[in-house]
């Protein structure tokens, strides 16, 4: 698949507009950097953040039953039901921040039927077990990328300018660790965390299983991102990557959540490096592998709250800061307009 994503261009007068607001130079700190990014993405000093949406992509992993997670695989579909019932953390944060929430079934091992706020994009009832074989075929990977892209293009046509990305899938922190190791070159041990809450013995087993998966696949250190994704990714991760690429192509703002979502971004950034210009990194996850991801992407997140829940919760919590940055750029008076004397 090909996506055309140019780097964001400098907007003449944008920095002057930020500097000319009724405040000391640089007094709004990181909000000023954020406002500049928003202005450059939208190419305006009057940004519009219309119809923001949280997309939570859900999928199951064949390796989950091998012991890479503290929770059974059935929790994936049970949590999707929780999302649809409005009872999860992301539901609460989305409601209180006026964010539309859509759940995407990318590959859950369960049949949900037709449900409000659920998009059926299922590729398969979960991936295969990457301890024994590649998680996805090339056709499945490409279909997931394409369906993710189609979902976001449809949102863009409806006027959405901002997409926050979340995920759900028991075992997906293990998949994200493998992707991170292979796409950043960081040692596997630095990429593997406790996920949903493994104890020390569980963490040691997870590391051993992932090392075994790497030995089976024997991917070259120069393997392309698409091959890495098919070997170890999840259907929800692949669909996230496609959705991100389409969002940047549509000049939307991308709110990036934590470890698993950033693993999907690593894949997307290998395919189209300029995508990072469109990304707002919401928070620094407590998962150790997130540090390796942020370093590789040269990213500075807005929040550091010790979060490791996923679901898009960090992105939803960062949304008020994004809204504030856009609002001060478009609404705050300049020294000239307010008749306030500037510093001599």
User: Pairing relation of β-strands 279-281 and 253-256?
Assistant: parallel
State how far the Cα of 67 lies from the Cα of 195, in Å rounded to an integer. 12
User: What's the rounded Cα separation, in Å, for the pair 328 and 49?
Assistant: 13
DSSP state letters, 268-303: HHHH-GGGGGGEEE-B--SSTHHHHHHHHHT---SB
Low-confidence ranges of the chain (pLDDT < 70): 344
- Of the listed 32, 231, 287, 311, which one is catalytic? 311
Contacts of 202 (CB under 8 A, 6+ apart): 67, 70, 194
Q: Output the pLDDT for position 195.
A: 80
81 catalytically annotated: no
The model's pTM is 0.96
pLDDT computed for residue 244 by the predictor: 98
């Amino acid at each position: 698949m090909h996506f055309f994503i140019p780097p964001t261009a400098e907007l003449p007068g944008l920095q002057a507009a930020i500097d000319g607001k009724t405040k000391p130079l640089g007094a709004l700190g990181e909000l000023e950097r954020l406002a500049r990014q928003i202005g450059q993405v939208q190419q305006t000093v009057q940004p519009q953040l219309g119809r923001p949406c949280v997309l939570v992509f859900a999928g199951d992993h064949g390796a989950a039953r091998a012991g890479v997670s503290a929770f059974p695989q059935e929790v994936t579909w049970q949590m999707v039901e929780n999302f649809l019932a409005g009872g999860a953390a992301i539901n609460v944060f989305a409601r209180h921040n006026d964010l539309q929430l859509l759940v995407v079934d990318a590959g859950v091992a369960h049949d949900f039927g037709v449900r409000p706020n659920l998009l059926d994009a299922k590729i398969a009832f979960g991936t295969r077990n990457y301890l024994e074989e590649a998680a996805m075929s090339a056709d499945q990977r490409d279909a997931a990328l394409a369906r993710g892209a189609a979902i976001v293009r449809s949102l863009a046509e409806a006027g959405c300018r901002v997409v926050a990305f979340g995920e759900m899938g028991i075992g997906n922190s293990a998949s994200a660790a493998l992707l991170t190791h292979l796409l950043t070159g960081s040692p596997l041990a630095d990429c593997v965390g406790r996920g949903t809450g493994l104890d020390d013995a569980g963490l040691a087993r997870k590391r051993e299983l992932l090392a075994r998966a790497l030995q089976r696949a024997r991917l070259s250190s120069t393997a392309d991102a698409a091959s890495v994704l098919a070997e170890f990714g999840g259907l929800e991760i692949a669909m996230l990557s496609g959705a991100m690429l389409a969002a940047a192509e549509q000049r939307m703002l991308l709110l990036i959540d934590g470890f698993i979502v950033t693993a999907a971004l690593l894949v997307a950034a290998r395919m189209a490096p300029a995508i990072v210009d469109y990304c707002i990194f919401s928070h620094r996850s407590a998962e150790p592998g997130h540090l390796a991801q942020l370093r590789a992407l040269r990213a500075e997140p807005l929040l550091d709250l010790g979060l490791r829940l996923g679901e898009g919760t960090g992105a939803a919590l960062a949304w008020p800061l994004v809204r504030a940055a856009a609002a001060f750029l478009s609404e705050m008076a300049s020294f000239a307009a307010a008749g306030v004397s500037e510093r001599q």
